Amino acid sequence: MKFFADTAEIDDIKEMAATGLLDGVTTNPSLIAKSGRDFMEVTREICGLTDGPVSAEVVALDHPTMMKEAEILRKIADNVCIKVPLTIDGLKTCKALTDDGTMVNVTLCFSANQALLAAKAGATFVSPFVGRHDDNGSNGMDLIRDIRTIYDNYLFDTEILVASVRHATHVLESALIGADVMTAPPAVIKGLFKHILTDKGIEGFLKDWETTGQSIV
């Protein structure tokens, strides 16, 4: 399963890239606002930190203006992936862009039927929001299971990009179900490294090492 960083914070992206875990980045208008950076400038900088897809979202609601925005965004770098909302105009834009060889991430997906539409429109990625689905009283991971089944039934190439990931269990279940990608905030990814027995193990080994009086360097 590919790991994308769901952030526009450059330092976090650099740190994740150094671990070898970074397969791409997703941003959205809220994350750009949180970064306080200029959209074009920060997106260009992020594109330079990974060879993987970097999602940059359009903000127009109508197809012609979405296309104009996408034209500008896709010139930023070859690895820009245009993010469009799961609406009729969003899917028209998806179809036009993917027909033209541009990567598209269809976002704000909350049902398996919506994911089916995104795949039929040729989406490179579909982003079901599991955390927000949970918040709304549904089970986000059931949605991922359903989409996996549908995409496998019809051999769709669209990759399932699990978004709105809030905790380690979302990551684990995504991998068990066979999602193609998950995107998570850096704090959630950092949390995956942690295990109490790892910490205890290090503590025990170092205590014993001290008794040898040796040093490696």
Catalytic residues: 83
Tokens read off for 148: 């996996």
Give the containing element (helix H, strand E) for 4. Answer: strand 2-6
129 binds ligand G3P per the rule CB under 6 A: yes
The residue (of 4 and 151) whose beta carbon lies closer to ligand G3P is 4
Q: How far is the CB of 163 from ligand G3P (least distance, A)?
A: 4
Give strand pairing partners of 104.
82
The residue (of 15 and 131) whose beta carbon lies closer to ligand G3P is 131
95 binds ligand G3P per the rule CB under 6 A: no
Closest CA to 25 of 1, 49, 60: 49
Angle ∠(187,193,197) on CA atoms, nearest 5: 130
Reduce the secondary structure of 94-143 to three states and give it as a string.
Answer: HHHHHHCCCCEEEEEECCHHHHHHHHHCCCCEEEEEHHHHHHCCCCHHHH
Contact criterion met (CB below 8 Å) for 162 and 129? no
Q: How far is the CB of 6 from ligand G3P (least distance, A)?
A: 5
Closest CA to 112 of 71, 156, 65: 156
Rule CB under 6 A: choose which of 49, 67, 131, 145 binds ligand G3P. Answer: 131
Number of residues engaging ligand G3P in binding (CB under 6 A): 9
Rounded Cα distance, 212 and 120, in Å? 64
The residue (of 58 and 163) whose beta carbon lies closer to ligand G3P is 163
93 binds ligand G3P per the rule CB under 6 A: no
Rule CB under 6 A: choose which of 14, 92, 132, 190 binds ligand G3P. Answer: 132
Rule CB under 6 A: choose which of 119, 144, 163, 189 binds ligand G3P. Answer: 163
Site for ligand G3P in 16-55 (CB under 6 A): 26, 28
Give the interface with ligand G3P as residue ranges (CB under 6 A).
6, 26, 28, 129, 131-132, 163-164, 183
